Structure 1
Amino acid sequence: MIRMRRGVVKEITSHRPGVTELLVEVEGNTQKAINYDELTGQVRPGDEVILNTTAVYKKLGTGGAHFVVGNLSHPEVDVTEIGHIMKMRYSPCQVKVLSVEEPDSPFAEAMRQASSLEGIPVIIGTLHSMIAPAAAALKKLGQGQLKVAYLMTDGAALPLPLSRLVYELKQKGLIHRTVTCGHAFGGDLEAINVYTGLLACRAVVKADVIIVAMGPGIVGSASQYGFTGVEQGEIINAVNILGGKPIAIPRISFADARERHRGLSHHSRTALGKIALTKATVTLPKLAPDKMELVLQQTEVSGISQKHDLAIIEARPALEALKEYDIKVTTMGRNVEQDPEFFLAAGAAGVYVSELV
C-alpha cells in the first residue's frame, strides 16, 4: 500500500513556514520531494531520508513529488508539551496539535460559550482554487475592511502549509487567519470538526466572512457520490445549524473535456441537489446567453433551483481583483484565461457577499 525508498537530499529549492521543498536523489534519478518540517524535522543537503514514492510511481493526482517520511541523518524530532489532540490518528504520522476546544487552549472559554455564527456569511467551495477569486473580490469590493477567515477541511490535502495559494493570500492580506478542522492540520488554529472550526472563525478570529473549502487536490471518480466534494452539502447544513448564512460556489466549466463536468458539474448537482438538506444561496455568474441557459437548465433538472436561492451576479470585478493583486491561480492546470467560467463562479460568491455585508 505504501512504496518506500531511501533517498539523499541534493538541494533545498524553496521554503515557507512548515514546508521545505527539495530535490532528492532516489533510484538513480533526481526528483522533487516535500518535507513537512513539523512532522519530520529540518532537512539539509546530504541528509539520507526515507521517502513515500507511491503517488509518483503510480502517476496519481497527488504525484509530482515524493514525501519525506523520516530523516535518517537526524531521526529525533521533539514536540511541544502543550496540546493533546491527535490528527491522522493511529497512523505512523499522527500529529499532536493544540486544538482550540481543549482545556489547555487560551480560547477554551470562548469556545465553551460559542454556539452561533450570528448570521455571518459563509462561502462554501469545493475546489481549493475557488478561494482565490472569492477572497480577492472580498478585499477589493469590501475596501479591505472585511476580516476573512479560511477554514480548511480534510477533504483533500491534510497539511495546510502545502498550499502556496493560502500562503500568498495571507501575505497579501486577502485572508487574515486560517483554521484547520478534522484531520487537516497546520492552520493558525486547530479544530476537531467543521462545527467547532466554523465557531472558532467567528468566536476567536472574529471573522466578518468565512470561506470554507478543502485543501489542494480532490478525490473523485466517475460515480455520482464518489468524490470528496460531497462535503459542500454537509457544510451547508452545518452553517444553517449554527445560524450562519451559507453561500455555495457552484463548479462551472466549459473548458473541461469531460461531459459530466460541462456547464454545472455533476459534483455540484449532487452536493447541492442531493446532499444539502437545508437552503443556501447559490451564486451564478452572468455568462454568455447560451451558456447561461444551459447552467440554469441544469439547476432546474438537478433540483437546485427548487431547493436553494439562486443569485445571478456580475462577477468580472473578481477577475479584475485577481489581476490587481497579481494572484495567478489555476484549476486542473487551467488558468483564468483558459477556464474563465470556473473562476467567475467562484468570484461571484465574493462579489455577492461584499454587497450583502
Structure 2
Amino acid sequence: MGLKLSKQGPARVANKKVYHLQYQFLAYITKSSFIRNLVSKQRRRMLVGGYDLDMSYITDRVLAMSFPAERMRAFYRNPLWQVKSVLDMRHQGHYKAGKGRTGLMVCAYLVYGGMTAEEALQLYAYKRTTNNEGVSIPSQRRYVGYWASILCFPRGVHDGPPDVRLPKKCSRQLLRIRLYDTVNINSVFFVVSELQEIPGQLYRPPVEISKSCCRSVKKGFQRSPGPRYYVSFIEGDEGNKLESQEPRVVVQMDTESSILYQKTCLEHCFEKPVQVSGDVRVIFYQKMIGSRLFYACFNTAFIKKGLLQFSLRDLDKVGSQGRSICGPAFCLELQFGPANPKGSLDENNDDSF
C-alpha cells in the first residue's frame, strides 16, 4: 500500500499566481490613462478624486460621461468603481452614456431651461469636447430642434417652466424618393421603417413598411402625370365642420419638366403611396443585403411642406461608401402628399432644423 499524492496541488498554486498577476496587471492598466485617452479621442477628460475619467460638467448640475465599464472593458472605458467613487463623493444619492445620446438629453434639458436649440448644442459641444463636436449625429440635432419648436414660454413669468405643446399625430403619404447628383452608381436600394407602439411596452421597435430601389433617370426623360386632387374640409375649434364653409379643394400638380432631368438623379415613384406616421427612418443600401450607405430620420408631425430635402451633412452614418456616390451638389428628396389637417402644426414652423 502506497501513498497516492494529488497532482492538483501544484496546479492550484500556479493558478493562484496567475490570478494574482492578472489582478496586478488589471490594477496597473486601470490606473494608467494612456489607453483610455486614446479611446476618448476629442472628448474632454476630468481629473477628480485621483482618477482620470471621461466626463465633463456641462452645467453645475449636469454631468456627461461615457458609460461605466467592468472587467476587460475597464481597460479603455471609465471603470465602474471609479465612477461610483466620484459620484458618491460629489453627487451622493443622485445618479442619472457618452456624447451623442447623452448630449441629446442634456441639450433637451438646456432648451427646456430657456436656451435656443443652437445655443444648447454649442454649449454642450464646448463643455464636452475639445474639438467642438458634441452632438454630431444630424438626426439627434434635428430632434433637439423639434423639441425646441413645441416649447412655449409664458410671457411675464420669470423663470417659469414652459408649456409643452405636443403635436397631434400626423400621417403622411410618401409619394417619391429622389437622390440628386449621384456618381458612379445606377441604383440604390432603400428600406422605409417607422417606430410602432406595442401595447404594454415602452420600447417602440422599428417596423419595415416598404422597400424598393431608386434607379437612374435618363437625361431628357419626361413624366406625363395628371394633376392629383385632394378634398378636405375646414374645421372649427372643436373639430366640427363649419356649415358656412364650402369644401376646400387642395390641388397638387406634378410640375415635371425636361429641365429638371438635365441633372443626374436616381428615383423611385411609389405606385401606391406609402403611409408613414411618427418617427420614420429611410435607410439606403448599395446592395439589398449589407453595404449600408446612409440613412435619414424625421418625424411626420414636423413636415410642413410637400418636400423634405437632406444634404449629405443632414444624413446619419455616412461612411466612405456613402460619400463615394455623392457629388458636390448631392441632395436626398422625399415628396409627400398633403398633410392631414388634424395633425398640422403652426404654419410658421418650417422643416429645417
Asked if TM exceeds 0.5, the reply is no
Structure having the larger proportion of residues in strand: 2
TM-score (norm 1): 0.28
Asked which structure has the greater CA Rg, the reply is: 2
Structure having the larger proportion of residues in helix: 1
TM-score (norm 2): 0.28
